Chains A and B, each alone.
Chain A
Amino acid sequence: MRRIPITSRSIGLLRPYTTPTPYLCAICRHQAPAFSTSSLRSSLDMTEQLRRKVWGTDNPPGLEDPYGGQSKFEKKKPQPTPQPTVAPRKMTAAPQLPADYVPSSTWDGLESVGDIWEPEYEFGGFLPAEMVTDTDEMTAALHRAMVEIFALKQAGLSLLDLPKAVLGVDPTHDVDIVPGVDGTQLRFNKDSSLAEVLQALIHDVSLSPVDETAEKGAPTEAEEDVAADRSELDPLHPDESSTTIDETAVKEWPTESEEDVAADRSEVDPLKDSEAYMPYEELIASWDPSWLQVSVEDPEIKFAILKRTLQLTGVRVPDSAIRSTRTAQSILSHLVTPPKPRKLIDALEQKEDLITLPNVSVFAKRVTPIHKEKSIGRWKLIEKELEARELPVTGNW
């Protein structure tokens, strides 16, 4: 049987006083009795009440405390220690702010207290932070790597002396790689030289922050080599092949060394800046296309090229493809092949003909009624109404 709430009983109307009650929650208001039928608990203690009843008056005769004073136990009770008086706080005026005070709107530059935020780790890996995805950029990177490796080989330096960081401008833009019978040659056009390419590499090597001790020997050696190179180039004699320079390359040397010297003396590269902004398509078109047929069969060269390419682009040629890559073209084909998409949505988004259909839309996740409501802007209203009715806001998100 349902119980009649106390508040609505008719006897409640007899409530003698209507005090403005403070806030009560719904449940308390419901359960708290509006009045009590039990007698009011008087503030007098039992003895006093009895005395009044016995004497029949409100002022019974006799001492209030016939035994005098406090009881033993009362006396034993620890006296409440007097509270130290606190001087009332005085109102003070706020300190005058300087006239040029501007409250900051961000936390930059403010004094920080505590050490909640751990610093973000800057991991200096071998791979670049951003992976190259553009085909032309990738082609240019491969070309650069090959020029640098073949330049190192021509200079007789170790192919593993690659810089740990990719720095500076690329001086290999104006170099052609020419496949030859006796080996691959570099053809330096008017704005480039072997020394310049090597210098850029060695500059990077000496600047590389990682592993200082391991490389200490290499730069000096390389610098000596460069110095040796220059000393050979200066006399303008065609028969300088004390370093490992192939005989076929000898013909091209004198003119280039002349240019080298001129470039070295001027110390300014007139076209370097303009080349830096040359779009990659033009750059690639300016090279002799036969560079793609250059053989990279030598495992040492192949390793060095793949390593440098990985450093420049961040794209890893799979190990299973290493053996079958025999030319620059095959390396490039592996580089530019995008990896298989890991998710179906990525694969579908690459299909132009499917995406462009007017009546087809592709979603990454299942489309639920909530998504449909959201798309027409009704979901917030529904959510608010559900909450107002204290209903659970559930559904498939």
Chain B
Amino acid sequence: MASKGLQSFSRSAKTLRAFGSSKDPLTQCLAPRLSRSMATETSLLSRLSPEYDITSLPDAANTEAFSPPTVLTTIYKFPTMEPIRFESYSSKHLYLPLRRDILHRAVVFEGDGTRQGTANTKTRWEIHGSHRKIRPQKGTGQARLGTKQSPMLKGGAKVFGPRPRDFSTELPRKMYDLAWRTALSWRYRKGDLIICEDGMELEQAGTKYVKSIFKHNRWGKEDGRSLLITAGESENLYKALENAGEDGRVKMEHEVDVKDLLELGRIIIEKGALDRFLKDHQSDLMSKVRAAV
């Protein structure tokens, strides 16, 4: 009995050795097969054959396809949209995986922060008037009543009504910054982030002119509207888009938030404004400790 068990053990040990160090089942199982973060869109699994081929393990080149250190963008000349050059950005800036949960928290955070919170009602102590007893306590045959500010009377107070308050909530700075870059990355991945040279401006201010530009570049209402983001004040552009709201919107960089980045069909942004966004929203990438001089 015991010898039989020993036999089977030695056989299995032999099999193990036969696999050898090159194909050690343990390391094969535990080795990280794909070096990509969890939430990226996967296109690799469909390409993988059902029987797992050891040779198709991602090498350095394949890994780069999933998370390259930098990504390329095309810089355009504004109204004509002629490509001028490629520009590279860090993939931690423009190639982050989509995190809907973080985007949702950021949008809610912004929405809370923009609430005015000025609704106000009067309590029974604030309503003007005498606090005289309306009628005698007994003998009238009617209900007992105190002052006319009572909440149960018409013209009386509101119980637990809205009072002015601050609705704003809190969100960790790093998470909000990550949401910014996630929103930009989502646009970039979809091809909806169009980066233009600095100084986006039109030759003339005219609604029809800007509409013809939008139509030519396929940015208008039929194509889901567009958000233009400028770093400076482009007078003609702002004036022209004033009455072309159905085709798009233009905003200065300091007016933009995460919700705006997610809203319209595409983002057309000045390079300076994009760089500013990325510089202002990278607290999770920067180390807090400053180097001693």
Contact between B74 and A121, CB atoms less than 8 A apart: no
Contact between A129 and B216, CB atoms less than 8 A apart: yes
Q: Give A342 to B222 CA distance when docked, in angstroms.
A: 9
Contact between B83 and A127, CB atoms less than 8 A apart: no
B136 within 8 A of A: no
Q: Give A131 to B65 CA distance when docked, in angstroms.
A: 30
Query: Smallest Cβ distance from B211 to chain A, in angstroms?
Result: 8
* Other-chain contact of A123, B188, B190, B213, B224 (Cβ < 8 Å): B213
B79 within 8 A of A: yes
Query: Smallest Cβ distance from B219 to chain A, in angstroms?
Result: 11
Contact between B73 and A319, CB atoms less than 8 A apart: yes
* Other-chain contact of B79, A125, A164, A316, A319 (Cβ < 8 Å): A125
Q: Which residues of A contact B85 (CB under 8 A)?
A: 303
A118 within 8 A of B: yes
Contact between A303 and B65, CB atoms less than 8 A apart: no
Q: Which residues of B contact A164 (CB under 8 A)?
A: 82
Q: Which residues of B contact A210 (CB under 8 A)?
A: 80
Complex interface bits, B45-78 against A, C-beta within 8 A gives 1, otherwise 0: 0000000000000000000010010011110010
Q: Which residues of A contact B167 (CB under 8 A)?
A: none
A122 within 8 A of B: yes
* Other-chain contact of B188, A307, A310, A320 (Cβ < 8 Å): A320
Q: Give A122 to B212 CA distance when docked, in angstroms.
A: 7
Contact between B216 and A125, CB atoms less than 8 A apart: yes
Contact between A123 and B83, CB atoms less than 8 A apart: no
Smallest Cβ-Cβ distance to B223: which chain A residue: A342
List residues 304-359 of chain A with CB under 8 A from any CB of chain B. Answer: 306-307, 310, 316, 318-324, 342
Q: Give A124 to B82 CA distance when docked, in angstroms.
A: 11
Contact between B72 and A125, CB atoms less than 8 A apart: no
Complex interface bits, B72-99 against A, C-beta within 8 A gives 1, otherwise 0: 1110010111110110000000010000
Q: Give A125 to B80 CA distance when docked, in angstroms.
A: 4
Q: Which residues of B contact A121 (CB under 8 A)?
A: 206, 208-209, 212
Q: Which residues of B contact A123 (CB under 8 A)?
A: 79, 209, 212-213, 215-216
Of the listed residues A120, A124, A316, the one surrounded by the most CB atoms of chain B closer than 10 A to its CB is: A316
Q: Classify chain A's interface size.
A: 20 to 34
A299 within 8 A of B: yes
Query: Smallest Cβ distance from A309 to chain B, in angstroms?
Result: 10
* Other-chain contact of A323, B72, B81, B189, B223 (Cβ < 8 Å): B72
A35 within 8 A of B: no
Q: Give A319 to B83 CA distance when docked, in angstroms.
A: 12
Q: Which residues of A contact B35 (CB under 8 A)?
A: none
Query: Smallest Cβ distance from B222 to chain A, in angstroms?
Result: 9
Contact between A303 and B86, CB atoms less than 8 A apart: yes
Contact between B206 and A320, CB atoms less than 8 A apart: no
Complex interface bits, A128-153 against B, C-beta within 8 A gives 1, otherwise 0: 01010000000000000000000000
Q: Give A272 to B86 CA distance when docked, in angstroms.
A: 36
Of the listed residues A127, A129, A131, A319, the one surrounded by the most CB atoms of chain B closer than 10 A to its CB is: A319
B218 within 8 A of A: yes
Contact between B71 and A120, CB atoms less than 8 A apart: no
Contacts A319-B191, A323-B71 given; does A303 touch B83 at CB 8 Å:
yes
Q: A125-B79, A320-B190 are in contact. List 11 more A-B contacts (CB 8 A).
A: A123-B209, A123-B212, A127-B81, A127-B216, A127-B217, A127-B218, A303-B85, A319-B193, A320-B71, A320-B188, A342-B224
Residues of B within 8 A of A (CB): 65, 68, 71-74, 77, 79-83, 85-86, 95, 188-191, 193, 206, 208-209, 212-213, 215-218, 223-224, 265
What would be 21 A-B contacts, judged by CB atoms less than 8 Å apart? A121-B208, A123-B79, A123-B215, A124-B80, A125-B79, A125-B81, A125-B216, A126-B81, A126-B82, A126-B83, A129-B216, A164-B82, A299-B72, A303-B83, A303-B85, A319-B193, A320-B188, A323-B72, A324-B65, A342-B223, A342-B265
Closest 7 CB pairs of A and B: A318-B191, A126-B82, A121-B212, A123-B212, A322-B72, A125-B216, A307-B83
Residues of A within 8 A of B (CB): 118, 120-127, 129, 131, 164, 210, 299, 303, 306-307, 310, 316, 318-324, 342
